[in-house]
């Protein structure tokens, strides 16, 4: 869960830097939304899913963890 949050922060920061430093100076910078939006959505979904799995693992009771590990 912590890794997912750290990755999301690092990805968001680097994407913002990339946009500001490289593409906002170009007159057609807005055309990059075709690539940025789908990739950002895929990354966001993946990070959310990883974080959710981490939260479920972290917040499960000891009895529930044992049930899940046994496959019951």
Domain ranges, ordered by start, for the chain = 2-70
Segment 12-50, tens digit of pLDDT? 888 888 777 776 676 776 677 777 888 889 999 999 999
Q: In the predicted model, is pLDDT for residue 72 greater than 60?
A: no
Measured CA to CA, the distance from residue 34 to residue 48 in angstroms comes to 22
Measured CA to CA, the distance from residue 70 to residue 50 in angstroms comes to 22
How confident is the model at residue 58, as a pLDDT? 83
Segment 49-59, tens digit of pLDDT? 999 988 888 88
Are 54 and 1 in contact by the 8 Å Cβ rule? The answer is yes
Q: pTM score, two decimals?
A: 0.58
């Amino acid at each position: 869960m912590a890794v997912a949050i750290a990755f999301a922060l690092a990805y968001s920061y680097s994407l913002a830097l990339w946009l500001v430093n490289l593409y906002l100076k170009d007159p057609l910078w807005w055309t990059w939304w075709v690539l940025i939006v789908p990739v950002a959505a895929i990354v966001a979904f993946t990070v959310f899913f990883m974080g959710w799995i981490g939260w479920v693992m972290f917040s499960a009771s000891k009895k529930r963890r044992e049930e899940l590990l046994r496959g019951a």
